[in-house]
Structure 1
Amino acid sequence: MRRLLAFCLIGLSIAIGPFHDAHGQPARRADAGKLVPHRLGQTDVYILSFGLWGPQSVFESEARGAARILEANFDGKGRSIVRVNTKRRAGATPQTLMAAATAAGKALDPAEDIVVLVLTSHGGPEGIGLVAGRDALLVTPDNVRELLDRTRAENRVLIVSACYSGIFARELADPHTLVITAAAADKPSFGCRDGATWTYFGDAFFNKALRGERRLDVAFEQARGLVTQRERREGFDPSNPQIAGGEQVLARLKEAACRAGAPTQQAGRAARSATC
């Protein structure tokens, strides 16, 4: 188990190149993705989910799983793009991430709709890592702000599953930007094992809490409790997940969640009743 902590702490050390050095070239047309357009008079949720660290499959699995659950909870079918790096394929490069954000910006209504951006990777005190093939880059809060701005959405949700990811809450949260992170700015998170389906935070938040509760703030509190219990049980210093900002976003998410219907059977009905 201690080896898992070591991977999360030292994994980012190879990601030293700046993000901007790599996204100056135009993305291939196929990378942009096709999204269902905004529905007039409704709050639609567009989901961008990126697994950035190619050498370990857990980040691909988490990005795909998170997108599926968010789609189900927020009526997002046809409104999501998933980009991942794997041991064999560089699918989440700066170019493809920017292209995905641009595609969302063309499909959504900036004033009515919401973008949910999920990033899962190794993290460090200055940002999170992106490893695509031989390219190893650092993605900073400023880079993520640029991605969010590229979507044109006035209301945004950022979910970062990585060590030290609290730096994104500190830098990016505001009334129109809800930020949820797996750890505080000075804490590692856990579960980044090659072959795993989820990290500890991803399992607690996406796989457990959000399957029965659409309200992101309520699901976060449930997940924080689950993660803290697991970390203490396994002898780790708690990662202290963070939530900040988003006062204007949560009310709009409620509309989309109510329209989506119950995510599960009895638990889903209880969640729907509490939310709508």
Structure 2
Amino acid sequence: MSRHREFAVFRILASCLLGLSLVSLPVHGAYGQAARRAEPVRLEAQRPGRTDVYILSFGLWGPQSVFESEARGAARILERLYGSKGRTIVRFNTKRQAGATPQTLLAAAEAVGRTLDPAEDVVVLVLTSHGTPEGIGLVAGRDTRLITPADVGRLLDRTGARHRAVIVSACYSGIFARALADERTLVITAAAADKPSFGCRDGATWTYFGDAFFNKALRAEARLDAAFEQARSLVTQRERREGFDPSNPQIAGGSQVLARLGAR
């Protein structure tokens, strides 16, 4: 599929999702359902006196495999960076599997909440999917929803962590920075609130931002803010080279999070 056709298809998908935000069951209503429907989650225990990093990585859009691939790849790189083996949960949707549903996302967040030390530890949440100016899409089988910044805030609260990092790889994902960032919540997004991002092609390994941030910058730079600056430069160069209006990735908040991760 050509880049222009890919973008046109995305605009149709985004329009459909925007309509669903007005008519579908709110995601937080599904979050209130019993988490016992999801598979039990076991995590390595928190280590007193240390800052452990718990990673939640979710590929939400089942019809395109790039989001599964990006969720898996981001989790592997972050897990290696932070020594988080046994403290990582990856969930994703595919054409045949509904693994990242509101229930399984809730179960993952609550499993982290039962395990970590809220004062000592950090949660890193990765979301990758299509986005609209209202939120990020979740397609799990026939279940199609729009997850808003408020929904993500409630999901973070279920982890109990006082220090959180949220990385959203989606079009228009800057809305999450505007809504969630504060000194204890670092938000990194693939695009500004009014910009699309690129590379969400079925069969691809990464989106453009995921490749620049996870696959390139974080392999060489451990600080999330420094890696972001490298990634923003890389993805902007690529977009301009290929004739796209730059997506303008965003970073906001998180001064306490960066200090805690740096002290590790």
Q: TM (normalized to structure 1)? A: 0.90
- The residue correspondences of 1:222-241 to structure 2 (distance < 5 A) are 222-241=230-249
> What is the CA distance between 1:5 and its match in structure 2?
1.6
The alignment yields a C-alpha RMSD, in angstroms, of 1.1
SS at structure 1 position matched to 2:263: helix
Displacement of 1:25: 2.6
Counterpart of 1:43 (choices 33, 38, 51) is 51
State the alpha-carbon separation in 2 of the partners of residues 137 and 39 from structure 1.
37
- AA aligned to 2:126 is V
Output the amino acid matched with 2:106: M
Aligned match of 1:176: 184
Aligned residues: 256
Post-superposition offset of 1:98: 0.6
> Is the 8 Å Cα contact of residues 38 and 104 (structure 2) preserved in structure 1?
no
Q: 1:51-90 maps to which residues of 2 (within 5 A)?
A: 51-90=59-98
Q: CA deviation at 1:29?
A: 5.8
2:6 counterpart residue number: 4
2:106 aligns with one of 91, 98, 121: 98
Alpha-carbon distance in structure 2 between the residues aligned to 1:191 and 1:110: 36
Q: For residue 167 of structure 1, what is the aligned residue in structure 2?
A: 175
CA contact (8 A) 2:38 2:103 kept: no
Matches within 5 A, 1:1-276: 1-15=3-17, 16=20, 17=24, 18-28=26-36, 31-256=39-264
Residue identity matched to 1:4: E
> Structure 2, unaligned stretches of length 5 or more?
none
Percent sequence identity over aligned pairs = 75
* Counterpart AA for 1:202: G
Q: C-alpha offsets along residues 123-151 of structure 1, whole Å, 9 cap, x if unaligned?
A: 00010000000010000000000000000
2-side partners of 1:94 and 1:14: how far apart? 20
Q: What does the per-residue CA deviation read over 1:5-59, in whole Å, with 9 as the maximum and x for residues that have no partner?
A: 2233332333312313433432346534211011010000000000000000000
Preserved CA contact (<8 Å) 1:64 1:82: yes
For structure 1, list consecutive stretches of 5 or more residues without a partner in the other structure. 257-276
Measured in 2, the distance between the counterparts of 1:35 and 1:137 equals: 28
Quote the Cα distance in structure 2 between the aligned partners of 1:7 and 1:115: 34
C-alpha distance in 2 between matches for 1:77 and 1:173? 27
Please give the alpha-carbon distance, in whole angstroms, between the structure 2 residues aligned to 1:136 and 1:34.
28
The answer (yes or no) to whether the contact 2:167–2:189 under 8 Å persists in 1 is: yes
Query: TM-score normalised to the size of structure 2?
Result: 0.94
8 Å contact from structure 2 (residues 37, 103) kept in 1: no
Q: Which amino acid aligns with 1:198?
A: W
